[in-house]
Amino acid sequence: MTLPFFPPDLFDGEQETLLDIVESIGLAPEQKFILGTHTTRFEEMIRDSVGAADAIACGSGTAALSLVLRAMDVGPGDEVVVPAFGCAPLAAAPAMLGAVPVFADVDPWTMVADPAEIARLISPRTKVIMPAHMFSVMADMPAIRSIADSAGVRLLEDSAVAQGGMLGGTPAGMWGDAGVYSFVQVKTFGMPGEGGMVVTADPEIGTAVRMLRNHGQDGRTRFVHHRIGYNSRFDEIMAAFQLHRFATLPQRLERRACIGEYYTERFGELAGCGVLAPPPASDGRCYYVYSLLAERRDALRDHLAAQGIGSHIYYPAALPRQPAFAPYAPGGAWPAAELAARRTLAIPIYPHLTDAQVEHIADAVCRFAKES
Say what the pLDDT of residue 1 is: 62
Rounded Cα–Cα distance for residues 280 and 57 (Å): 33
User: Which has the closest alpha carbon to 66: 23, 97, 45, 42?
Assistant: 97
User: Which has the closest alpha carbon to 210: 25, 47, 32?
Assistant: 47
Task: Give tens-digit pLDDT for 183-205.
Answer: 999 999 999 999 999 999 999 99
Cα distances (angstroms) measured from residue 258 to each of 1, 129, 131, 187, 287? 21, 32, 26, 17, 9
Task: Give tens-digit pLDDT for 10-63.
Answer: 888 899 999 999 999 999 999 999 999 999 999 999 999 999 999 999 999 999
Which domains are present in the chain? 12-247 (3.40.640.10), 249-371 (3.90.1150.10)
Contact 143, 149 (CB under 8 A): no
Q: Is 370 considered catalytic here?
A: no
Burial classification of residue 170, based on how many CB atoms lie within 10 Å of its CB (0-12 exposed, 13-18 middle, 19 or more buried): middle
Instruction: For residues 130-150, give the mean pLDDT.
Output: 97
Task: Give tens-digit pLDDT for 3-12.
Answer: 999 998 888 8
Say what the pLDDT of residue 331 is: 86
Single-letter code of the amino acid located at 131: P
The one catalytic residue among 32, 127, 187, 370? 187
pTM to 2 decimal places: 0.95
Residue 363 makes CB contacts below 8 A (sequence gap 6+) with none
Phi, psi angles (nearest 5°) of residue 214: -130, 55
Rounded Cα–Cα distance for residues 33 and 22 (Å): 10
Rounded Cα–Cα distance for residues 101 and 92 (Å): 8
Rounded Cα–Cα distance for residues 154 and 146 (Å): 11
**pLDDT above 80: residue 230:** yes
Q: In the chain, what percentage of residues exceed pLDDT 70?
A: 100
Task: Give tens-digit pLDDT for 312-351.
Answer: 999 999 999 999 999 999 888 999 999 999 999 999 999 9
Mean pLDDT of the chain: 96
Single-letter code of the amino acid located at 179: G
Rounded Cα–Cα distance for residues 21 and 362 (Å): 39
* 114 DSSP 8-state letter: P
The pLDDT-based confidence of 130 (bands split at 50, 70, 90) is very high
Return the ∠ at Cα 352 (arms to 348 and 357), rounded to 5°: 55
Return the ∠ at Cα 216 (arms to 211 and 219), rounded to 5°: 55
